[in-house]
Amino acid sequence: MKKILLLVLTLVFSFSLWAQENTGVIAIGEAEQDKDKLVIDDSEFGSISSENKKQAIEILEIIKNDFNFYKHKFNNVEYKDKGKNSFSKALFESWAENGVTYLVATKMQNKGSELEIAVKVYSILTKAEVLNTSVSISNSQTKEAGHKLSDAIYRSITGKPSVFLSKIVFISDRSSVSKKDKRKELYIMDFDGNRVEKLTSYNSMVLSPSVSPDNSKIMFSLIASHKEKSRNKVRTIKNIDLMMLDLKTKHFSTISARPGINSGGVFTADGNSLYLTLSYSGNADIYEMSLTGGKMRKVTSHYADDVDPSVNTAGSLMTFLSSRSGRAHIYTMDPRATEKDVKRISFVGQFNATPRLSPDGKEIVFASWVDGLFDLYRIDSQGNNLFRLTKDFGSNEEPVYSPDGEFIVFTSRRVVNSHKAVQDMWIMNREGEILGQLTKDFGECFSPQWTNLPK
């Protein structure tokens, strides 16, 4: 087991004193963008109980907080008493004078014991009502209803789905007994860090989660114990197995338990196959495996170690981490054939980690070891237009794009004092603007992975 772990750690975290000729360290980039001016107005209240009014105010705050994540697209503006009670009548001229482009107006009232929320969205420039919807909710549905209304508003304005209904799968060591008895389990939470749910209880080490295209399954690796019989003796060995959790049935199954590494599994776009790293034949290589028949095909075949695949939706481009240059750097290839069009694209830092493709396959975000810590960069899939995302913000790793490509969630390790450092999850937009901290006092957090957007 020690050799298996050493293989991975040597590749991903192989510290080297050699200074690379083309470090390419650049300053954090800045970009300007035209923004729509959005007003989420004070709500109108009909006949409403005090309990429902409290819930109504919370719903409105959820909507406002949701849209703060998209502040690179919207200037969210509040005008005190400017357009209060605008649900019944939108004052287009007044809003236009202030440069407002979209107005969100709501009306809340009782419907039996439930709260009825009506939402209208007005395009001020065209004087058109682009959304008119209503929903009745109970007390237990506040968070979910707020995010659903936010998504409906966002779709009415942009014509695209938002991240408001997506979730983030991650790993935490908060159930560890001690420093010597480390345990990592799988969790899932809302995109904004709320409503955390524990998914596994192995009392072991869960690694590298991946979500199926329909969000119904989560694949992950597990350091598992196996009984092995040799010369009439039975011994327990450790192995990195690949597991699957069906979120509907809560059933766990083993996908691959070959000797050595069974890790880095990612689904293909149709959900019928996966790409994963296996080391049973010697060094670590990337394979494609069918989930229905178990048929396997070798994608990389090299004496160096190849790990951590990420594949575009079309299945025509893969990025992965390899030690082919002597240190861990990022390569791309066409995964439809073995060793097809392999190309090194990273030349920043002493070594790199966790390359992840954007949903459209045009960009790769990754971590690079520069000046004694990890910082985040993005680069286009051809290896051009390097863009630094973080600097002077702790040691930052494991970045992954949101399913709409607008955000990046990542882990950041911050030094608290000479005896303590914490690793939490944070979120930024794709330009590197930090939007907030997603976890706090939840142990050390690792390997965030977004779920996909609902249709």
Residue 24 burial (10 A CB sphere; 0-12, 13-18, 19+): middle
DSSP SS3 for 435: strand
Check pLDDT > 80 for residue 401: yes
**Tens-digit pLDDT profile for residues 422-453:** 999 999 999 999 999 999 999 999 999 999 98
pLDDT reported for residue 82: 54
**Tens-digit pLDDT profile for residues 346-375:** 999 999 999 999 999 999 999 999 989 999
Q: What value does the mean pLDDT take over residues 388-397?
A: 94
pLDDT reported for residue 88: 80
**Tens-digit pLDDT profile for residues 294-309:** 899 999 999 999 999 9
- Out of 3.40.50.300, 1.20.1260.10, 2.120.10.30, 1.25.40.10, select the CATH number for domain 167-450: 2.120.10.30
pLDDT reported for residue 240: 95
Fold of 36-158: Rossmann fold (3.40.50)
pTM of the entire structure? 0.89
Measured in whole angstroms, the distance separating CA 337 from the mean position of its chain's CA atoms is: 28
Residue 382 burial (10 A CB sphere; 0-12, 13-18, 19+): exposed
Q: In which band, very low, low, confident or very high, does the pLDDT at 30 lie, cut at 50, 70 and 90? A: very low
Q: In which band, very low, low, confident or very high, does the pLDDT at 230 lie, cut at 50, 70 and 90? A: confident
Question: Which of 59-63, 96-100, 170-174 comes out lowest in average pLDDT?
Answer: 96-100
Residue 20 burial (10 A CB sphere; 0-12, 13-18, 19+): middle
Check pLDDT > 50 for residue 251: yes
Check the CA dihedral 120-123-126-130 and report its sign: negative
According to DSSP, residue 184 is labeled: B
pLDDT reported for residue 83: 53
Q: What value does the mean pLDDT take over residues 157-161?
A: 95
pLDDT reported for residue 180: 84
**pLDDT greater at residue 293 or residue 67:** 67
Q: In which band, very low, low, confident or very high, does the pLDDT at 5 lie, cut at 50, 70 and 90? A: very low
Q: What value does the mean pLDDT take over residues 168-174?
A: 97
Supply the mean pLDDT for the chain.
89
Check pLDDT > 90 for residue 321: yes
Residue 373 burial (10 A CB sphere; 0-12, 13-18, 19+): middle
Q: In which band, very low, low, confident or very high, does the pLDDT at 345 lie, cut at 50, 70 and 90? A: very high
**pLDDT greater at residue 151 or residue 180:** 151
pLDDT reported for residue 81: 52
pLDDT reported for residue 282: 86
pLDDT reported for residue 10: 42
Is the separation of the CB atoms in 308 and 277 below 8 Å? yes
| DSSP assignment of 244-287 | EEETTTTEEEEEE--SSBEEEEEE-TTSSEEEEEE-TTSS-EEE
Is the separation of the CB atoms in 447 and 399 below 8 Å? no
User: Could you tell me if residue 87 is left (phi over 0), alpha (psi between -120 and 50 degrees) or otherwise beta?
Assistant: alpha
**pLDDT greater at residue 45 or residue 304:** 304
Check the CA dihedral 256-262-263-268 and report its sign: negative
Tokens linked to 279:
């080391």
How big is the CA angle at 222 (ends 217 and 227), to the nearest 5 degrees? Answer: 125
Distance CA 225, CA 171 (A): 20
DSSP H or E segment with residue 60: helix 50-68
According to DSSP, residue 43 is labeled: P
Check pLDDT > 60 for residue 132: yes
pLDDT reported for residue 410: 98
| Amino acid in position 206 | V
**Tens-digit pLDDT profile for residues 47-97:** 888 888 999 999 999 999 999 999 999 988 776 555 556 788 888 888 898
Check pLDDT > 90 for residue 388: yes
**Domain boundaries of the chain, sorted by first residue:** 36-158, 167-450
Check pLDDT > 50 for residue 310: yes
pLDDT reported for residue 421: 87
Q: In which band, very low, low, confident or very high, does the pLDDT at 31 lie, cut at 50, 70 and 90? A: very low
pLDDT reported for residue 403: 95
- Please name which of 12, 29, 2 lies closest in space to residue 308, comparing C-alpha atoms: 12
Check pLDDT > 90 for residue 29: no
Residue 431 burial (10 A CB sphere; 0-12, 13-18, 19+): middle
How big is the CA angle at 84 (ends 82 and 89), to the nearest 5 degrees? Answer: 105
Q: What is the largest CA-CA distance in the chain?
A: 88
pLDDT reported for residue 112: 87
pLDDT reported for residue 15: 31
